[in-house]
């Protein structure tokens, strides 16, 4: 389940679909908004990326 994988502390790798193409991003969870169903991920350069939960294919 995706939500169980999001409980991990530290750096995670997320594979997700955005605009029809598969993307991969590595970082730490910054915010999880269940109302809007989005996940904010902060990468190594401290950029914040917003990912829709429905587009997530896998979490490592």
The total domain count for the chain is: 1
Q: Does the model's pTM come out above 0.75?
A: yes
Q: 9 is in which domain, residue-wise?
A: 2-21+28-59
How many helices (DSSP H) and strands (DSSP E) are in the chain? 1, 5
Q: What is the pLDDT of residue 23?
A: 96
* Backbone phi, psi, residue 54, to 5°: -70, -20
Rounded percentage of the chain residues whose pLDDT exceeds 90:
73
pLDDT tens digit string along 6-19? 777 789 999 999 99
pLDDT, average across residues 12-38: 94
């Amino acid at each position: 389940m995706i939500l169980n994988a999001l409980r991990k502390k530290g750096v995670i790798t997320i594979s997700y679909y955005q605009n029809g193409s598969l993307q991969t991003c590595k970082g730490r969870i910054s915010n999880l908004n269940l109302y809007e169903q989005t996940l904010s991920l902060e990468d190594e350069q401290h950029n914040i990326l917003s990912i829709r939960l429905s587009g997530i294919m896998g979490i490592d």
